[in-house]
């Protein structure tokens, strides 16, 4: 006799609903929607754009960390950001982490992470995690950025660890 078990699979959205807000490592709270729209808080630092308009978007669909990046909205719908304007998303629970397309993120060591290898963008975001975006040109921020560029892909010891 052969027994077959039927399994009902839940979608990622049913298992982990999208959070309404995301908080970055500098303490800024951003609005978040199931369409992946990011709404910055009033007074959030704006990137100086040579083309396009300042705004915020998410990063992380192919990285280890979910980040919120300041950058420039371009005509045609693209978004350009410098890794120095990205900060990781903090969490206490898996439910604090967004779902980006088919990638779900877990709360690991207080950051929303996929478990994949840390990317170059992730390295910069980790090293600048506690520095507000409008202070990217301070000596500490420049020192940490220099450390990342010479780290050979490892997270420097004085940076936030994944």
Whether 132 is covered by a domain: the verdict is yes
Whether 7 is covered by a domain: the verdict is no
Task: Provide the pLDDT for residue 2.
Answer: 31
Whether 156 is covered by a domain: the verdict is no
Whether 160 is covered by a domain: the verdict is no
Q: Which residue range forms the structural domain that includes residue 53?
A: 15-149
**Looking at residues 136-141, what average pLDDT do you find?**
93
Whether 6 is covered by a domain: the verdict is no
Whether 1 is covered by a domain: the verdict is no
Whether 138 is covered by a domain: the verdict is yes
Q: How many domains does the chain have?
A: 1
Angle between helices 139-149 and 120-127 (to 10 degrees): 150
pTM as predicted: 0.85
Rounded CA gap, 150 and 37, in Å? 34
Task: Provide the pLDDT for residue 40.
Answer: 95
Q: Determine which helix (DSSP H) or strand (DSSP E) holds 148, and give its type and residue range.
A: helix 139-149
pLDDT tens digits for 42-98? 999 999 999 999 999 998 777 899 999 999 999 988 999 999 999 999 999 999 999
Q: Which residues of 60-93 are buried (b: 16+ CB within 10 A; e: fewer)?
A: beebbbbbbbbbbbeeeeebebebbbbbbbbbee
User: Average model confidence (pLDDT) for the chain?
Assistant: 86
Whether 105 is covered by a domain: the verdict is yes
């Amino acid at each position: 006799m052969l027994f077959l078990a039927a399994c009902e699979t839940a979608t990622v959205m049913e298992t982990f609903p999208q959070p309404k807000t995301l908080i970055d490592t500098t303490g800024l709270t951003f609005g978040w929607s199931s369409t992946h729209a990011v709404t910055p808080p009033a007074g959030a630092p704006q990137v100086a754009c040579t083309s396009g308009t300042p705004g915020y978007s998410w990063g992380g669909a192919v990285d280890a960390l979910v980040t919120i990046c300041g950058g420039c909205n371009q005509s045609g719908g693209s978004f350009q950001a410098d890794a120095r304007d990205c900060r990781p998303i903090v969490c206490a629970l898996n439910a604090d982490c967004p779902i980006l397309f088919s990638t779900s993120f877990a709360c690991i060591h207080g950051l929303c992470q996929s478990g994949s290898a840390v990317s170059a963008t992730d390295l910069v975001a980790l090293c600048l995690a506690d520095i507000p975006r409008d202070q990217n040109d301070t000596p500490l921020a420049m020192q940490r950025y220099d450390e990342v560029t010479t780290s050979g892909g490892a997270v420097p010891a004085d940076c936030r660890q994944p």
